[in-house]
Amino acid sequence: MLQSLGALYVIITAGLTGLVHSLSTFQWPNPQLAYADKMLYESTLGLLAQGCPPQDNSTVPAQWLRIAYHDMSMHDVDDGTGGLDALIQFELDRPQNIGQGMFDSLNDFRDFVAGAPFLGTADTIALGAIFALAGCGGPVIPFSAGRVDTTEAGPETVPEPQQDLASHTEAFRRQGFTPTEMISLVACGHTLGRVRQVDFPLVVTNTEDFLQTFDTTTNFNNAVVSEYLQNTTQNILVVGPNVTTRLDFRIFLSDGNLHSFLSSDTFNETCGNLIEQMINTVPSGVTLAQPISEPFDYVVSEPLFSYRNGTMSMATTLRIVNPSDNPSRTGHPARPPDVPRHPHTLFKFSSVLSFWFKINENNGSDPVIVDNGGSSFAIGQDSVFIDNSRSEFVIFSSSLINYQKVVMVVHGDASSSMSITTFDPHTNASTPPYLPTIITTNLQLDDSNPAEGGFTFFTVNVSSTVTFLNISGNVGGISYTQENFDMTAVDFTFVSISQ
Ligand code: HEM
Ligand SMILES: *[C@@H]1O[C@H](CO)[C@@H](O)[C@H](O)[C@H]1NC(C)=O
Ligand SMILES: *[C@@H]1O[C@H](CO)[C@@H](O)[C@H](O)[C@H]1NC(C)=O
Ligand SMILES: *[C@@H]1O[C@H](CO)[C@@H](O)[C@H](O)[C@H]1NC(C)=O
Ligand SMILES: *[C@@H]1O[C@H](CO)[C@@H](O)[C@H](O)[C@H]1NC(C)=O
Ligand SMILES: *[C@@H]1O[C@H](CO)[C@@H](O)[C@H](O)[C@H]1NC(C)=O
Ligand SMILES: *[C@@H]1O[C@H](CO)[C@@H](O)[C@H](O)[C@H]1NC(C)=O
Ligand SMILES: *[C@@H]1O[C@H](CO)[C@@H](O)[C@H](O)[C@H]1NC(C)=O
Ligand SMILES: *[C@@H]1O[C@H](CO)[C@@H](O)[C@H](O)[C@H]1NC(C)=O
Ligand SMILES: *[C@@H]1O[C@H](CO)[C@@H](O)[C@H](O)[C@H]1NC(C)=O
């Protein structure tokens, strides 16, 4: 279960050579998989949906599931266009996409979009659908990262309640679903949430009804079907006053096979499979990463370096999943929301560009060697890097915006040059679409960190909300780059300034 995962950060010892050992994890580095695992099992996004909580006369999970369907529903199997691609955020003014839930969802997701290649808005919408089901007691479906956000306008093909059965059948065929799958998927979707009078006044015609639920329960279950089959349903899309908009009635009636959904297991399984298909529907040419259905055994975070007084230091973490919380291990449990941000172990070394781990349970068993499948964890270069211990996270006591003073090191003199490109998911936009801010800046020499030991220090101020950056440096005519440095893993010193 997503909600009951226990993870353990363990103090480990590091070695400088590798031993062959096979492990159930991915080949490092793989920022996409590492970040996908982190969002699934360590982030607080899932907590927003846990317990199926209310939001603006609906529920958080209902809003998240509906936006996922609407975004995906512009897919066209015939030409391979459309799918889950975050296009929805540009189309909220279309009548098809009306509803506060769309704005609420994008606001909820906003802080969790790290950006490609980690997680863009479309991947976050997919994660939202997964957490929506899990949060309301529904099936747990695997997550595959890799969707590509798009900004090109799509066709106005999201189904609408007043359309007839033939239009809906054709719309679902175009999305990649058979008529039977359409019936199931509509039931799977309309087990959550409601129709709001302010959004659909022609469906909920009585202005004193603020909302009309699809069934008598909030959770993800087959009540929407059983109540329909028992003829007790109050679903306004089945028995509502406006016959034209009784879309669930037309769709449910089109197949006698709906009885199979009276089995909770069948409902669970069918809905899990169909919603997985739904969120994995992407434009042709987009390839999704391997599905994650349980946390990776060992995840190594971004290695952090510092050079001082002739010594190069490196700090990183190794996450070990231990649901049984074995007390003989050294460490502490990391469950959302108390996941420790910086459980680092410090290693000191010089001129070593690879590392591995040895985990000793101290319980009589042989230590486990974690060495990236025999190849060790290798660092590409140490000629340009961020100095983790000289960098600062600057916090103002006044309302001034916090920033990070990033100190970069080059193994070279002051004739070197450095620049960074930062990715910040935040903009100052107050309504969707929320597009990231990408800025390239040339660095200045850092007066407060004079050159030492052949290393020269440069500096730049970046926003406190930058999630990752690319570094490029030119040292003695040779170019060095480091791509996709994970700023959410840094451990900068906090500096408070009162002004
Ligand atoms: C013929 C296709 C469909 C039509 C015409 C349709 C129409 C509607 C309408 C009119 C609402 C009320 C929205 C509001 O008041 O804000 C609604 C809600 C909802 N729909 Fe659908 N729907 C369709 C298919 C689906 C599918 C396939 C799913 C997902 C698998 C889905 C998931 C939802 C959810 C979760 C809600 C509740 C939203 C909330 O409470 O905020 N729908 N739908
Ligand atoms: C929610 O419903 C109440 C009435 O129950 C209404 O007063 C309020 O405006 C609604 N809120 C939203 C955000 O639609
Ligand atoms: C549906 O699946 C979830 C997780 O896979 C499980 O917790 C829940 O009990 C299942 N519900 C039913 C009715 O089988
Ligand atoms: C029923 O819905 C249709 C389609 O939205 C609309 O044209 C019609 O005016 C509605 N009827 C009533 C009585 O509200
Ligand atoms: C369902 O209930 C309605 C009234 O609530 C009734 O008119 C109708 O005949 C019932 N249909 C079935 C199949 O029992
Ligand atoms: C570095 O060396 C200087 C001078 O020898 C000393 O004052 C300082 O404490 C040292 N810093 C660290 C982090 O070891
Ligand atoms: C030691 O702990 C590990 C990890 O929990 C476990 O796999 C192993 O079986 C334990 N060994 C003994 C002898 O208990
Ligand atoms: C960083 O480099 C990668 C690979 O070239 C690229 O895909 C990504 O967009 C770059 N990120 C930024 C913020 O420029
Ligand atoms: C923030 O808003 C100002 C004024 O509307 C605009 O000039 C600026 O480009 C915006 N910044 C970002 C990062 O969107
Ligand atoms: C970073 O911001 C501080 C405070 O505004 C300023 O004093 C410093 O010069 C800035 N550094 C750079 C490299 O722009």
Q: Which of 82-91, 101-110, 419-428 is predicted with the least confidence, judged by mean pLDDT?
A: 419-428
Residue located nearest, by CA, to atom 2 of ligand 6: 309
Q: Is 111 in the pocket of ligand 2 (CB under 6 A)?
A: no
Centre of ligand 2 to C-alpha 214, Å, is 18
pLDDT digits (tens, 9 = 90+) for 62-78: 999 999 999 999 999 99
295: helix, coil or strand?
coil
Amino acid (1-letter code) at residue 338: D
- Asked if residue 20 has pLDDT above 80, the reply is no
**Which run of H or of E encompasses 320?**
strand 318-321
pLDDT digits (tens, 9 = 90+) for 5-18: 222 233 333 333 33
Residue located nearest, by CA, to atom 13 of ligand 6: 308
Average pLDDT taken over every residue of the chain:
86
Q: Ligand 2 atom closest to Cα of 56?
A: 13
* 376 Rama sector, left if φ>0, alpha if ψ -120 to 50, beta otherwise: left
- Asked if residue 177 has pLDDT above 70, the reply is yes
Residue 350 has what pLDDT?
44
Centre of ligand 7 to C-alpha 365, Å, is 6
| Cα distance between residue 431 and residue 90, in whole Å | 11
Residue located nearest, by CA, to atom 29 of ligand 1: 189
pLDDT digits (tens, 9 = 90+) for 207-217: 999 999 999 99
Residue located nearest, by CA, to atom 13 of ligand 3: 264
Centre of ligand 3 to C-alpha 139, Å, is 5
Given a contact cutoff of 8 angstroms between Cβ atoms, the answer to whether 457 and 408 are in contact is yes
Residue 87 has what pLDDT?
96
Given a contact cutoff of 8 angstroms between Cβ atoms, the answer to whether 241 and 207 are in contact is no
pLDDT digits (tens, 9 = 90+) for 281-313: 999 999 999 999 888 878 888 888 999 988 888
Q: Ligand 7 atom closest to Cα of 328?
A: 2
Burial class (CB in 10 A: 0-12, 13-18, 19+), 178: exposed
Of 352, 309, 332, the closest CA to residue 453 belongs to 309
Of 176, 191, 169, 192, the closest CA to residue 254 belongs to 169
Q: What is the DSSP string of 62-88?
A: HHHHHHHHHHHTT-BTTTTB-SSSSGG
Centre of ligand 3 to C-alpha 220, Å, is 9
| Cα distance between residue 176 and residue 76, in whole Å | 8
Residue located nearest, by CA, to atom 13 of ligand 4: 242
Residue located nearest, by CA, to atom 11 of ligand 8: 470
Given a contact cutoff of 8 angstroms between Cβ atoms, the answer to whether 388 and 490 are in contact is yes
Task: Name 208's Cβ contacts closer than 8 Å, sequence gap at least 6.
Answer: none
Given a contact cutoff of 8 angstroms between Cβ atoms, the answer to whether 427 and 439 are in contact is no
Ligand 6 binding pocket, CB closer than 6 Å:
308-309
User: 333 vs 182, which has greater pLDDT?
Assistant: 182
Q: Is 70 in the pocket of ligand 1 (CB under 6 A)?
A: no
Name residue, tokens 């409601």.
Answer: 194
| Cα distance between residue 297 and residue 25, in whole Å | 6
- Asked if residue 22 has pLDDT above 60, the reply is no
- Asked if residue 98 has pLDDT above 80, the reply is yes
Beta bridge partners of 355: 377
pLDDT digits (tens, 9 = 90+) for 323-374: 334 433 332 222 222 222 233 344 444 445 777 777 776 777 787 777 888 8
Residue 23 has what pLDDT?
41
DSSP code of residue 243: G
Residue located nearest, by CA, to atom 9 of ligand 7: 365
From residue 19, alpha-carbon distances to 319, 370, 376 in Å are 19, 8, 8
Centre of ligand 10 to C-alpha 461, Å, is 6
Q: Ligand 6 atom closest to Cα of 311?
A: 14
Residue located nearest, by CA, to atom 14 of ligand 3: 265
Task: Quote the tokens at residue 446.
Answer: 């850092």
Pocket residue to mutate for ligand 10, from 402, 461, 499, most atoms within 8 A of Cβ: 461
Ligand 3 binding pocket, CB closer than 6 Å:
137-140, 264-265, 268
Q: Confidence class of residue 24 from pLDDT cuts 50, 70 and 90?
A: low
- For the question of whether the overall pTM of this predicted structure is more than 0.85, the answer is yes
Ligand 4 binding pocket, CB closer than 6 Å:
162, 202, 205, 242, 244-245
pLDDT average, residue stretch 414-441? 92
Q: Confidence class of residue 448 from pLDDT cuts 50, 70 and 90?
A: very high
Over pLDDT 90: what percentage of the chain?
Answer: 64
Centre of ligand 9 to C-alpha 58, Å, is 32
| Cα distance between residue 223 and residue 220, in whole Å | 9
pLDDT digits (tens, 9 = 90+) for 132-171: 999 999 999 999 999 999 988 888 999 999 999 999 999 9
Task: Quote the tokens at residue 375.
Answer: 């190849």
Of 365, 357, 387, the closest CA to residue 449 belongs to 387
Q: Is 150 in the pocket of ligand 10 (CB under 6 A)?
A: no
**Which run of H or of E encompasses 366?**
none
Q: Is 104 in the pocket of ligand 2 (CB under 6 A)?
A: no
Residue 257: φ, ψ to 5°: -70, -5
Centre of ligand 5 to C-alpha 247, Å, is 18
Tell me the longest C-alpha to C-alpha distance in the chain: 81
Q: Confidence class of residue 321 from pLDDT cuts 50, 70 and 90?
A: low
pLDDT average, residue stretch 262-272? 97
Residue 145 has what pLDDT?
96
Beta bridge partners of 486: 468
